[in-house]
Amino acid sequence: MIASLLNLIIKRYKKRSFAALESNRLMNIQYTIEKQVKLAVKELYHKDLPAVEFQPTRKDFEGDITVVVFPMLRVVKGNPVEIGTKIGAYLEDNIAEIEKFNVVKGFLNLVLSDQFYLSFFNAIKNIELFGYETPNSKDAVMVEYSSPNTNKPLHLGHIRNNLLGYSVAEILKAAGHKVYKTQIINDRGIHICKSMLAWQRFGDGETPQSSGLKGDHLVGKYYVAFDKEYKKQVAQLIEAGKAQELAEKEAPILLDAQSMLRQWEAGEKEVVALWKKMNDWVYAGFEETYKNLGVDFDTLYYESNTYLLGRDVVKEGLEKGVFFKKEDGSVWIDLTDEGLDEKIVLRSDGTAVYMTQDIGTAIQRVTDHPDINGMVYTVGNEQDYHFKVLFLILKKLGYSWAAKLYHLSYGMVDLPSGKMKSREGTVVDADDLIANMAQTAEEISEELGKLDGYSEEEKKELYRIIGLGALKYFILKVDPKKRILFNPEESVDFQGNTGPFIQYTYARIQSILRKATGFLKQDQAIANTALHEKEKELIKIVQLYPETVQIAAENYSPALIANYTYELVKEFNSFYQQVSILGEDDENIKMFRVQLAAKVGEIIKSSLRLLGIEAPERM
């Protein structure tokens, strides 16, 4: 993973200005090496080398960064080993940070000095938000996630959605962007009326208070009740001789729900009052789930307010020739030249489709927040085509910010069969899953006997932190586009690429620091110390953190942060096992190792924060 990350950093380096490189020592040394390689070729061979190719040094070779000699043969004729040797000697003489070099075939492997790494560490050890850019120094971005329907509770799919959207928002903020977190709540439509009608028919005045159910679960109960009654009526109609297709359209309870929707759209007082009451129950339930999951929002949009947006924009686009009208009066856009198809944006009766609403909502968001210069839509991959069309339409309408729209597409999350089925029997309920994760953390912790000496209250809080950390990390470490098979027991393992393993390492570091406060407080710079191999390897990974944050932001990828953190934790544990920290006799070395452990702990906590995961001080 580290090698692939280094390759991404090397590619990113080529796009950056020298001014940007000055703030990053890893990138700056690469710039210096490139400059000196070109000078070496000019001086030794009297040729101008247009570019220098870098790659991470292979594990089986000694070195920290490798210059690839083979591409130079287009300019400099000769044996690649001899060319590499001459350039290596030139670099060793002209760059103080290069301690030695070796050439393997056409690869010039450069070894950076211990002082280079110590200088870097001394520069960053007291930077609290190491890796984070200046807040609001980059374009403002709106990140949309969650966006549930108000006819049922949040489920497992919403959990992946929320975790991805929240984490991407936090990563973008760390990368310097101003971020608005938002959701559009789907609070209108036939599905809402189904729950309302069923509650009227079967609810007998039941409320969250009288039932003891969260409001979203109560409303979801009546959505299921509607479906049961609907299927019963369809079966009765079919038995009476109706064709199935007609029976499904003419079931009395469905016709009544459709009538209720028309009443809502007409503003009928009693229907609107019931709609508001039941939606308020759901909002209270959602808020509790969001709090338990650890996500939040800056702004909220409601479909009941946005479903009429976009129609005026379509009419303007029709006048400009962006859209065209068919004989029946419906309005379309032709995207066949872009490899797509024709897409309807207004029905023949002038009513909007979802695409129309999304066009209008995007424009409304920029109107509400004029500093927005990009949006991220966290929506499942079944909507890939919809967002391709939406983004193209907004570009054709001439909105400059449309070039910076991104669909954070993700795959489904599956569970082993039979595990944690919701009370509705069809989906995995978010609240049940969150509670189950804490219970799983409790069972595994009790088996391992890790929490001796904790009070019951402390244990309960730690089970919550470990369980949520396990859930979040397991989901976020995977590329969003991939489908996930989520196994709760596997996710709470205290070994391997899991949240609890990372949390446990952080707690171990805090234990070390509690015993070494005197050494931690010393600000004395470490110099002229020969680094242990494990110290050097740990600093190398620490050095990658700022670029990892930037690359994760550019790729909208929490997985890059998660897997970087795992590599850092693995390297720290290797360091911990092979060198003595508090038992070291040399006071200077002990101070350095304590400070190094402290910085690693800060980065672990910082990176977990970007994933929405808490870092416990004790475990």
The pLDDT score that the predictor gives to residue 501 is 96
Q: Report the C-alpha gap between 180 and 163 in whole angstroms.
A: 16
The pLDDT score that the predictor gives to residue 464 is 96
Q: Report the C-alpha gap between 344 and 337 in whole angstroms.
A: 16
Report which of residues 31 and 91 the model is more confident about: 91
Q: Among 230, 261, 295, where does a domain finish?
A: 295
Distance separating the N- and C-terminal Cα atoms of the chain: 27
Averaged pLDDT, 363-390? 97
The pLDDT score that the predictor gives to residue 285 is 97
How many other CB atoms are found less than 10 A from the CB of residue 395? 15
158: exposed, middle or buried (C-beta count within 10 Å: 0-12, 13-18, 19+)?
Answer: buried
Q: Report the C-alpha gap between 549 and 609 in whole angstroms.
A: 12
472 and 583 in a single domain? The answer is yes
Return the structure tokens found at 537: 């390897």
Averaged pLDDT, 27-45? 91
79 and 207 in a single domain? The answer is no
Q: Report the C-alpha gap between 207 and 12 in whole angstroms.
A: 56
| Nearest of 39, 28, 105 to residue 66 by alpha carbon | 105
Under a CB-based contact definition with an 8 Å cutoff, are residues 41 and 78 in contact? no
Return the structure tokens found at 290: 């969001």
Tens digit of each residue's pLDDT (9 = 90 or more) over 141-151:
999 999 999 99
94 and 226 in a single domain? The answer is no
604 and 477 in a single domain? The answer is yes
Q: Report the C-alpha gap between 619 and 612 in whole angstroms.
A: 19
The beta-strand segments (E) located in 113-185 are: 138-144, 177-185
Q: Any idea what the CATH number is for the domain that residue 30 is in?
A: 3.30.1360.70
Q: Among 60, 90, 112, where does a domain finish?
A: 112
Name the strands in the sheet holding 299-302, side by side, starting at the edge strand that comes first in the sequence.
299-302, 177-185, 138-144, 372-380, 405-410
The pLDDT score that the predictor gives to residue 9 is 64
601 within some domain: yes
484 and 586 in a single domain? The answer is yes
Lowest-confidence pick of 244-253, 296-305, 442-451: 442-451
143 within some domain: no
The pLDDT score that the predictor gives to residue 10 is 62
Report which of residues 518 and 85 the model is more confident about: 85
Tens digit of each residue's pLDDT (9 = 90 or more) over 532-580:
999 999 999 999 999 999 999 999 999 999 999 999 999 999 999 999 9
Range of the domain at 107: 2-112
271 within some domain: yes
Q: Is the pLDDT of residue 190 over 50?
A: yes
Q: Give 17's pLDDT tier (boundaries 50, 70, 90).
A: very low
379 within some domain: no
Return the structure tokens found at 155: 């489920």
411 within some domain: no
Tens digit of each residue's pLDDT (9 = 90 or more) over 459-490:
999 999 999 999 999 999 999 999 998 888 88
The beta-strand segments (E) located in 80-195 are: 98-104, 107-112, 138-144, 177-185
Q: Is the pLDDT of residue 21 over 90?
A: no
The pLDDT score that the predictor gives to residue 567 is 96
Under a CB-based contact definition with an 8 Å cutoff, are residues 131 and 603 in contact? yes
The pLDDT score that the predictor gives to residue 24 is 55
Q: Report the C-alpha gap between 379 and 482 in whole angstroms.
A: 14
Q: Give 617's pLDDT tier (boundaries 50, 70, 90).
A: very high
466 and 604 in a single domain? The answer is yes
140 within some domain: no
Return the structure tokens found at 63: 């070195």
The pLDDT score that the predictor gives to residue 522 is 59
The pLDDT score that the predictor gives to residue 562 is 97
What percent of the chain clears pLDDT 90, i.e. is strictly above it?
Answer: 79
Averaged pLDDT, 114-142? 92
Longest dimension (CA), the chain: 96
| Nearest of 299, 353, 301, 346 to residue 325 by alpha carbon | 346
195 and 103 in a single domain? The answer is no
Q: Report the C-alpha gap between 365 and 142 in whole angstroms.
A: 8
The pLDDT score that the predictor gives to residue 519 is 74
470 and 587 in a single domain? The answer is yes
Q: Report the C-alpha gap between 575 and 600 in whole angstroms.
A: 11
Under a CB-based contact definition with an 8 Å cutoff, are residues 193 and 448 in contact? no
Under a CB-based contact definition with an 8 Å cutoff, are residues 324 and 331 in contact? yes
Q: Is the pLDDT of residue 27 over 70?
A: no
Based on the structure, what is the number of domains in the chain? 3
Mean pLDDT of the chain: 91
Q: Report the C-alpha gap between 125 and 428 in whole angstroms.
A: 44
* 391-396 contact pairs (CB < 8 A, 24+): 392/335, 392/338, 392/340, 393/322, 393/333, 393/343, 393/345, 393/355, 393/359, 394/359, 394/362, 394/363, 396/317, 396/322, 396/333
Averaged pLDDT, 340-364? 93
195 and 108 in a single domain? The answer is no
Pairing of strands 372-380, 138-144: parallel
In b/e form, how buried is each residue of 364-394, taking b as 16+ CB within 10 angstroms?
bbbeeeeebbbbbbbbbeeeeebbebbbbbb
Q: Among 295, 322, 354, where does a domain finish?
A: 295
The pLDDT score that the predictor gives to residue 74 is 94
Q: Any idea what the CATH number is for the domain that residue 602 is in?
A: 1.10.730.10
Pairing of strands 177-185, 138-144: parallel
The beta-strand segments (E) located in 440-494 are: 484-485
What percent of the chain clears pLDDT 70, i.e. is strictly above it?
Answer: 93
65 within some domain: yes
492 and 577 in a single domain? The answer is yes
User: How far from 456 is each of 354, 468, 614, CA to CA, in Å?
Assistant: 50, 18, 19
3-state class (DSSP) for residue 67? strand
Q: Give 12's pLDDT tier (boundaries 50, 70, 90).
A: low
Q: Give 494's pLDDT tier (boundaries 50, 70, 90).
A: confident
Q: Is the pLDDT of residue 44 over 90?
A: yes
393 within some domain: no
Tens digit of each residue's pLDDT (9 = 90 or more) over 224-241:
999 999 999 999 999 999
Q: Report the C-alpha gap between 29 and 84 in whole angstroms.
A: 18
* pTM for the full predicted model: 0.91
106 and 193 in a single domain? The answer is no
489 and 597 in a single domain? The answer is yes
